[in-house]
Amino acid sequence: MTFSLPTDHISGRRLLASLLVNSRLDSALRDTLTAVQANALTPLYALPTAVRRRLAGAPIQIDGNILDPDLQLLIRVDNLLPNTTKTDAPTARAHFRNLCKLIPGTPAELHRVTDLTVRGAAGQLGARLYIPRGVRPPSAGLGATATDSGSRSASGSAPTSGPGSANSTSIGSGSGSGTGLGSGSDYGFDPGVGSRPGFGSGGVDGVGRGLLVFFHGGGWVVGDLNTHDALCRAIAADAGIRVLSVDYRLAPEAPAPTAAEDAIAAFTWAVEHAEDLGVDPDLIAVGGDSAGGNLAAVVAQQTVRRGLPHPALQVLLYPAVDLVARRPSRDLFSEGFILSENDIIWYRDHYTPDPTLRPDPIVSPIRAKDLTGLPPTYLTTAGFDPLRDEGLEYAEALRAAGNPLTHIPHPTLCHGYANLLTVPGKIRQAHTHLTNYLRNALY
């Protein structure tokens, strides 16, 4: 990613001055980048605050908001990485996976993380269940023996086995009907004692009975269970609830509305298997970031309209909700803040190659004619996000339709902040607000 001057001319001059003043620091920062990449940015943010501020450059102010300096430093580091223009989906996916290895920090310790399969719109999908500490392990009550590998390695790396791999452990049935918990591999902490059906009793030992069904971001084209593993771990650990991350099918191989239908099917599967998952079926929420927030919003709408079990809550982190219209924030933050205008167009064209589908609420939930009767919503927007204005507009539309709404603006942050848990300060505060809310709503 490369910086270009914002359309705000004052901000542009400040940014230009920052780049000129700090050009001599780039060499030193670039020299440390290899070590930073190897250790997920931890050494960079271990530097004294004054040094980090100097490396970040002069403050950037646009539209009345000042970019968080620690986030500004991360963007500066991103500038020093080789620029990669999106050409094809496999290359973009590999690049995104590499970037995500830079940012997660030390993974949160959980009782168990299990790879499994869930029902999609046309067969099985990979998924990953995160269980916070304090819960008993699965037992033979599901018709198979589940094992726990104990503590992870000192490096914090997770096993690479996934659904259907040679290292997977059978947990229930993996039939196409979606019965049981599919096949999965377990890894986690603190092997429990005792034996009972399901994944243990919630609501005890500091663990709630709620579940967040989570859909990762990535423009419906990139991203997977691993790119958002650290975020899902952190939500489970800090909110004290289970998280089920779903590996929905990606475009362009599976264009819209495939991802949306997969998301609806996976959510309804989770409700049907609430007892197996150890959760209360009335406390199952749906959520996601960016494109995943889009899918969560679609699930909330479509389950209500189709008469299906609907979520207890929808969690929309800087969601993409309109694939048709442009708003001023798309111009204000078109370059230089993680998600660019070119990225937005590239993702949109891959997900919806048929432009006539774009006004449909199945891909643009803000365009639904009826927004009444939806679940309570927790929606966040970021001040330096090109999608900011459509998120603000959707929040107002939900409120006007009489839906319970908690809108949390983060004026100093940019698109994608939820994944940047290594960055201290405002991002950690945003994460804490989210997980406190989830703990109160879903415990």
Instruction: Name the strands in the sheet holding 123-131, side by side, starting at the edge strand that comes first in the sequence.
Output: 186-188, 112-120, 123-131, 242-247, 211-215, 284-289, 314-317, 377-384, 405-414
pLDDT class of 102 with cuts at 50, 70, 90:
confident
**In-domain check, residue 98:** no
Q: Are residues 257 and 208 in the same domain?
A: yes
The catalytic site residues sit at 290, 385, 415
Q: Are residues 250 and 383 in the same domain?
A: yes
CATH number at residue 407: 3.40.50.1820
Q: How far is residue 91 from each of residues 96, 251, 408, measured CA to CA in Å?
A: 9, 13, 34
**In-domain check, residue 418:** yes
Using the predicted structure, report yes or no on whether residue 188 has a pLDDT greater than 90.
Answer: no
Pairing of strands 284-289, 183-184: unpaired
**In-domain check, residue 3:** no
Q: Are residues 73 and 180 in the same domain?
A: no
Pairing of strands 169-170, 123-131: unpaired
- Helix and strand element counts for the chain (H, E): 14, 13
Tell me the C-alpha distance between 263 and 149, whole Å: 30
Q: How far is residue 367 from each of residues 321, 362, 399, measured CA to CA in Å?
A: 8, 9, 15
Positive or negative, the CA dihedral 372, 378, 381, 387 is: negative
Tell me the C-alpha distance between 117 and 125, whole Å: 5
Q: Are residues 23 and 135 in the same domain?
A: no
Per residue in 301-331, pLDDT (tens digit) is: 999 999 999 999 999 999 999 999 999 999 9
Q: Are residues 147 and 256 in the same domain?
A: yes
* Residue 71 one-letter amino acid: L
pLDDT class of 87 with cuts at 50, 70, 90:
confident
Output Rg (C-alpha) for the chain, integer angstroms.
Answer: 21
Decide which of 165 and 294 is more confident: 294
Per residue in 257-283, pLDDT (tens digit) is: 999 999 999 999 999 999 999 999 999
Q: Are residues 342 and 425 in the same domain?
A: yes
Q: Are residues 54 and 146 in the same domain?
A: no
pLDDT of residue 203: 53
* Residue 409 one-letter amino acid: P
Domain count, the chain: 2
Element (H, E) at 268: helix 258-272
pLDDT of residue 111: 94
**In-domain check, residue 49:** yes
**In-domain check, residue 244:** yes
Using the predicted structure, report yes or no on whether residue 155 has a pLDDT greater than 70.
Answer: no
366: its two tokens: 């803000």
Structural domain span for residue 53: 9-92
Average pLDDT of the residues in 237-244: 97
**In-domain check, residue 242:** yes
Is the Cβ–Cβ distance between 98 and 38 less than 8 Å?
no
Distant-in-sequence, close-in-space partners of 153: CB < 8 Å, separation ≥ 6: none
Q: How far is residue 66 from each of residues 58, 100, 165, 318, 410, measured CA to CA in Å?
A: 11, 25, 47, 18, 11
Per residue in 22-78, pLDDT (tens digit) is: 555 555 455 544 444 544 577 888 899 999 999 999 999 999 999 999 999 998 887
**In-domain check, residue 2:** no
Q: Are residues 189 and 281 in the same domain?
A: yes
Q: Are residues 75 and 173 in the same domain?
A: no
**In-domain check, residue 350:** yes
Q: Are residues 292 and 208 in the same domain?
A: yes
Per residue in 347-362, pLDDT (tens digit) is: 999 999 999 999 999 9
Distant-in-sequence, close-in-space partners of 19: CB < 8 Å, separation ≥ 6: 3, 57
